[in-house]
Structure 1
Amino acid sequence: MKKTIFTVAAVSMLALSGISANELKTIETEATIEMVSPDDLSAFCKAVMQGDVDTVKKFIELGEDVNQKSLGKAPIHYAARYNKAEVLKVLIDNGADLKKRCDGGMTAMKYAELSHAKDAMAVLKAAMKK
């Protein structure tokens, strides 16, 4: 009797583990992760992200386009995302498009909201009223 119970238990364990192994094979992942090298980001957008107002002004003086995208986002998106209010003011004063959307479809205001960047939101709201 003990041998029969043990045999049935062993067969059941093998059968159940075989089913779950087959189920695991059919699971597909839909998420994709794209690794981006920091070197791919333009130097202008790096200065914006770091909040380096003087360097941003120098780039603009040298003819850098304030609406040129880098990695799918314009400099205004990076300034809003990282709450760089002073840089945001400089970009807006030099013709940055407040309604420009990134490749993902988001505006600078949306980046500021998602990042809880209160200073950047205040600058953007003031600029939109003008």
Structure 2
Amino acid sequence: MKKSIIACSLLLSVVATSIASEKKPLPIKKINVTTIKNVSPLSIAVAKGDYGTTASFLAYGADSNEKSVSTGMTPLMYAARYNNVKLLKLLISNGADTTLKSKIGYTALGYAKLSKASEAVAFLQSI
């Protein structure tokens, strides 16, 4: 009987140790990846409508007239396209040129009209 109890104890401890030492899989986390190429961080901040980040970039000397490589759009064109008058005012006050054209020949006003961004159109026509 003693041998049975000792054998059962050993078996139980081996099984318990085996179960406890198994690695549990880590939970799967979703990772969002943004693959925007050849667009300046300032233009991305403007396209997302992030006023604080845009103001910070400009305060640290980002070029408000820098064109994206692929489309030739400036941050001002992105602000006009997404009807963001607050960012239009910020960019213009920091030296953004309203007369620059993209690779397809549109100015910021042209993008505002193309996107039916009525507030941006009204603001750009008023300056």
TM (normalized to structure 2)? 0.67
1:115 aligns with 2:126: no
Separation in structure 2 between the aligned mates of residue 100 and residue 48 of structure 1, nearest angstrom: 17
Match of 1:69 among 67, 70, 89: 67
Separation in structure 1 between the aligned mates of residue 66 and residue 90 of structure 2, nearest angstrom: 15
Separation in structure 2 between the aligned mates of residue 112 and residue 83 of structure 1, nearest angstrom: 7
Separation in structure 2 between the aligned mates of residue 60 and residue 43 of structure 1, nearest angstrom: 11
Separation in structure 2 between the aligned mates of residue 108 and residue 50 of structure 1, nearest angstrom: 17
Aligned residue-pair number: 91
Counterpart of 2:78 in structure 1 is: 78
Counterpart of 1:30 in structure 2 is: none
> Looking at CA atoms only, which structure, 1 or 2, has the larger radius of gyration?
2
Q: Alpha carbon RMSD of aligned pairs, Å?
A: 1.2
2:77/2:107 contact within 8 Å kept: yes
- For each residue in 1:94-126, what CA deviation from the matched residue of structure 2 results, as whole angstroms up to 9, or x when unmatched? 111111101111111111001000111122112
Structure 1 position 41, deviation (Å): 2.0
Aligned-pair identity in percent equals 43
Structure 1 position 85, deviation (Å): 1.1
Separation in structure 2 between the aligned mates of residue 48 and residue 56 of structure 1, nearest angstrom: 6
1:42 aligns with 2:40: yes
Gaps of 5+ in 1: 1-36
2:40/2:66 contact within 8 Å kept: no
Tell me the secondary structure at the aligned position of residue 95 of structure 1: coil
Counterpart of 1:52 in structure 2 is: 50
Structure 1 position 39, deviation (Å): 3.7
1:51/1:86 contact within 8 Å kept: no
Higher share of residues assigned helix: 1
Structure 1 position 84, deviation (Å): 1.2
Separation in structure 2 between the aligned mates of residue 65 and residue 41 of structure 1, nearest angstrom: 12
Separation in structure 1 between the aligned mates of residue 38 and residue 102 of structure 2, nearest angstrom: 16
Structure 1 position 40, deviation (Å): 3.1
* Dislocated runs of 4+, deviation >2 Å: none
Separation in structure 2 between the aligned mates of residue 100 and residue 113 of structure 1, nearest angstrom: 16
